[in-house]
Amino acid sequence: MTIVQNRNESRKGRLASRAGRPFIVAAALAGLLVWAPGAQAADAEVIDADARFPEGPVWHDGKLYYVEYGGHTVMSWDGQDSAVVWTLDGCGPAAVEPNGEGAFLVTCYDSNSLVKISSAGKTLQTYEKSESGIALIGPNDITPDGKGGFYVTTSGPWETAPIVGGVFHYGADGLIRQLADDLHYANGVALSPDGKTLYCSESYAGRIVQFTVQDDGSLADRREFVRLDRVMDDTTEEGLTPDGMEFDAEGNLYIGLYNRLGKILVVDAEGKFLRTLDVPSPYAPNLFFDPSGKFIYVTAVDDGDNAPYPGKVYKIGLD
């Protein structure tokens, strides 16, 4: 088995490999003692009931775009129906982001590449390394830098070691450079509303770190923003696992959780707990705000033990 195949198995087994751990066994016995959606779940509308490990939602040009890791596809939803935009076997996409040129960037976690595609679903260009030759190992999330470029996280394998997660920058000129390394499974990434601070979730460390964004787009002053088990009452034997993140109009940070809790965590600009939102599926790793600000779109997984990992995409009302 090649290195790439080993890495793919690590990704695909992220949920399944937990099945034998004490927490999951206890969850299976206790049922809703661990996952107990509340009133918020009643406001959830299912817009894709047959998604295959959906992730990375983003709103663009009147449509919701998202990926299916388990289906190797980029999808769109026009308010009525979902449709396949692009597919590539072996990609294992984790996020999609419009690039402002009528095209999109897709992180292919399984094939260790960043792919540029057209809005018509044509593969335009594939990147596997930075300009200095550093491999993109497990590309995961993307966020615009506000200047025509993008920050991209690379996670590395879903293992406790080695710690090889990083943050790369994809410039408007198409050049890729590494800005940060030594992150413990770098996952979700978000830029503060003022563009001065970049936030990155370290899934295996159970925390969010932040960086100061320099004038040239580089990153400095890495520090811890919030450790999830210090702000949430809910916990698991293996710790809380942050995934995707988005800021609301007030500057509060919404954090998707990759735990069997069916919740999204909301903290303020200082990292203080505000509330949680319930999701009618056990895993709620990614989210994006509707342009109206009245809803969030959540990509969620129902069955993490069996490929293609069925899940749903929700439109959930906000109070």
Q: In angstroms, rounded to a whole number, what is the distance separating the alpha carbons of residues 276 and 254? A: 9
Spans of the chain, pLDDT less than 50: 1-42
Looking at residue 237, its pLDDT comes to: 66
Q: Check: CATH 2.120.10.30 for 3-317?
A: yes
What does the pLDDT look like over 235-245, one tens digit per residue? 666 689 999 99
What does the pLDDT look like over 150-207, one tens digit per residue? 999 999 988 888 899 999 999 999 999 999 999 999 999 999 999 999 999 999 999 9
For the range 255-259, what are the long-range contacts, defined as Cβ-Cβ under 8 Å and sequence gap of 24 or more?
255/188, 255/201, 255/208, 255/228, 256/188, 256/284, 256/285, 256/286, 256/287, 256/298, 257/228, 257/283, 257/284, 257/285, 258/14, 258/203, 258/283, 258/285, 259/283
Strands lying side by side in the sheet with 123-127 = 93-98, 103-108, 113-118, 123-127
Q: In angstroms, rounded to a whole number, what is the distance separating the alpha carbons of residues 73 and 67? A: 6
202, burial (CB in 10 Å: exposed 0-12, middle 13-18, buried 19+): buried
Looking at residue 263, its pLDDT comes to: 95
**Contact by Cβ (8 Å): 169, 145:** yes
Instruction: Provide, for the chain, the percentages of residues in helix, strand and coil under a 3-state DSSP scheme, each rounded to the nearest 5.
Output: 10, 50, 40
Q: In angstroms, rounded to a whole number, what is the distance separating the alpha carbons of residues 186 and 208? A: 9
Q: In angstroms, rounded to a whole number, what is the distance separating the alpha carbons of residues 57 and 244? A: 10
Q: In angstroms, rounded to a whole number, what is the distance separating the alpha carbons of residues 197 and 211? A: 6
Per-domain boundaries in the chain: 3-317
